Structure 1
Amino acid sequence: MTQTLKRHTDTVRWLAIAAIGVMAQAVCADAPEMQSIEVFTTSDRPVIGIDHALSEATNVTVYLVDGLERFEAQLSSRLPRHPTQARSEALRRIQQLTAGNMVQARQAAVGLAEAMQYGIDRYPAIVFDGHAVVYGAKDFAEALERYYAWRRVPAR
């Protein structure tokens, strides 16, 4: 009797493990797999939770679309009024730019171009896989939740 009970318990345990495995696969299959996430924002409208997302996924790109304006403002700050002196000072500042400054400026330009290509007209905007955008979410987790909710709605 005890061996029959043990075999029955082992069978039930195996079936339970198999059922959990099947359910886990079904849940994972329902979760949309993202190829890319692009965050478009400005320096005065930061999106929180991005640091965690960047550590969890390598497919998140953050664009500060006001970066070129800030870059230009930094270069032109307190230039002399005389045009020749202003030109010389601006050239000196440009020559002193670091590689890091140039990378930031380039990234800002790329972000601005991408935002224009997507037709993004307000910030923050988070684009998922190049086709779905969540506007106004200042929390990355909230934007992700809204995206997943949208994906769960059946197509009409």
Structure 2
Amino acid sequence: MKIQVALIAAATALVVATPAAANEARAEAHGGITWAAGNEEATAGIALGYDFDLGTSTFAGVEASADKVLQDGANVLFGASVRGGAKVGAGKLYAIGGFSFTEHDDAWHLGAGYEHKVGSNLYLKGEYRRYFDVVDVNTAVLGVGVNF
């Protein structure tokens, strides 16, 4: 009897968990380098997002982020983005674009990245973004995140 109850519980958990694996919320921390006009600075940030399945090989998602150039006087850069791309093996290859703003400035951004699952709900990522402002700014980051 205990085995039957355990099997029914496991089957129920699997059925209930399957949709969550297809459409995933995520949270991440990332860090890297920002460069523009001959200057380079370290940067760090966080992001929250949600990806939607568009079939077996593609996805689309939304993201909110906060990034800070690690320099005295630099403001936090808040962003709202959309992303989409292809599922490649255990990873996601994507393009991203959106709008970013600080207390005193704003800019559109475009970029590309790759996210690779390590374990059941952890991932590593690399991403490049270009911010289109008075002086165009480039950012390359590496990050670690969790899907839930």
Give the alignment's TM-score, normalised by structure 1: 0.26
More strand by share: 2
Larger helix fraction of residues: 1
Higher Rg: 1
Higher relative contact order (CA 8 A, sep 6+): 1
TM-score normalised per structure 2: 0.27
